[in-house]
Copies of this chain bind each other. A is one copy, B any other.
Amino acid sequence: MPQLLRVQNFNVSSDGFGAGENQSLERPFGHADPGTMFAWAGATASWPNRTAPGGSRGLDDYLTRDFAHNIGAEIMGRNKFGPQRGPWQDHDWKGWWGEEPPFHTPVFVMTHHPRPSFTLSDTTFHFVGGDPAEVLAQAREAARGKDVRLGGGAATIRQFLDADLVDTLHVAVSPAVKLGSGSRLWESPDELLDRFHCDVVPSPSGVTHHLFWRR
């Protein structure tokens, strides 16, 4: 079985932004409202952060529950890990996700600034430099035969796309959200059609799922 590099449950606005401007501790997605962007996923039975019982088990739930399926490691950009930029001021910041991060695998955070690894529950965060191919090689080894999830943000996904390392992408487009500026994944999903097949699947919840795989 090949070890795929997969983008899963990545959300963008109708104009192609994964997050807005001015990301901060208070506004992890900048001027974008994550409550609106991720409403489709939060409504599903399999949403990793769900605390109440219930939730839908239709199309959106298939995509949500595939998040962890056969995933052995995640790669994320430093800006997904936290709001700090530049050298680490302190090591108190341990990500947005509290004591039980939803990854349950090794996570490789791409940064030029060294920092020791640490573990929260069954998730270990490693901080790694190097180009996308080098980071992917480390993550593949840690994944022990399973696939690697590319967690974002948009700039990190674009880096791996530019290096032609991405095998599949699931991007949920929110037609009702327009951001105008921020962290851009694409001008249009058509940009990927030279290298990828794409199923465009409108969900009854309102988002349009874009499912890409290599030609």
Contact = CB atoms under 8 A, between A and B. Distances in A.
Interface of A: 45, 56-59, 61-63, 65-66, 69, 167-168, 197-201, 203-204, 209, 211, 213
A159 B65 CA distance: 28
A69 B65 CA distance: 9
A65 B63 CA distance: 11
Copies in the complex: 2
A45 B197 CA distance: 13
Contacts of A198: 58
| Interface class of chain A by DSSP | mixed
Contacts of A63: 62
A66 B57 contact: no
A57 B201 contact: no
A62, A69, A167, A203: residue with the most chain B Cβ atoms closer than 10 Å: A62
B58 A213 contact: yes
A76 B167 CA distance: 36
A36 to B, nearest CB: 21
A59 B211 contact: yes
A5 to B, nearest CB: 12
A62 B66 contact: yes
